[in-house]
Amino acid sequence: LAIQSHTSRFHHDCFRTLHYVFFSSKSNLEFLKKLETLNFDDTGVTPIKLFGRTINNTIIFEDMITIIKSSRKGEIIGVFLENENIKSIKTWEAALAENNIGRIDMSAAVAHIMHPKEDVELLKIKKACTIIGQMFNHHV
C-alpha cells in the first residue's frame, strides 16, 4: 500500500497537485472505492487512485510512478512497512529505486487518522456489554 505524502492545505494549487495512490488487495481496495469516485473540485478531497494487485504488476507500477512523479515533486511516498515481505512489494521497491523515489512509514499517521473511528466503535461495544450484563443480572 503506498500513499503519496507532503501537502499544504493552505495553498489550493499545491494541494490540488497531490495524489494518493493505493496498491493493495481487492478486499482492502473495496474499503476505499467510494473515495476514488469523489470529485476534487466539489469536495476538496485529494484525488485518489486505487490499483489492485495482479499477476504481473509491472504495468501498474509504471502507471503509479507516473502519477507519483506528477504529484508535487514526486520524490517521496508513504508506505506501510509491514507489507515489505510481499513479492510484489519487492518488485515495487525496485521500481521506486530506479526512479529515485524515497519512502517513509505512514503506519502511525494512518493509525492516528483511524483513531476516532476506533474510539466510537469501542464505546458502542462497551455500551452493548453493559446492557448484556444488566440483562444477565436482572434475569438470572
* pLDDT (tens digit per residue) in 95-117: 888 989 888 888 787 777 666 66
pLDDT tens sequence across 24-56: 778 878 877 777 776 666 666 667 778 887 777
Buried b (16+ CB within 10 A) or exposed e, 11-46: eeeebebbbbbbbbeeeebeeeeeeeeeeeeeeeeb
What CATH number is associated with residue 31? Answer: 3.40.350.10
Give pLDDT, residue 88: 65
- Residue 44 shares a structural domain with residue 72: yes
How far apart (Å, rounded) are the C-alpha atoms in residues 139 and 126? 20
Q: Across residues 64-89, what is the average pLDDT?
A: 74
Same domain, 16 and 81: yes
**Which residues of the chain form beta strands (DSSP E)?**
2-4, 20-24, 48-52, 76-79, 102-105
State the residue range of the domain holding 124: 114-140
pTM here is 0.54
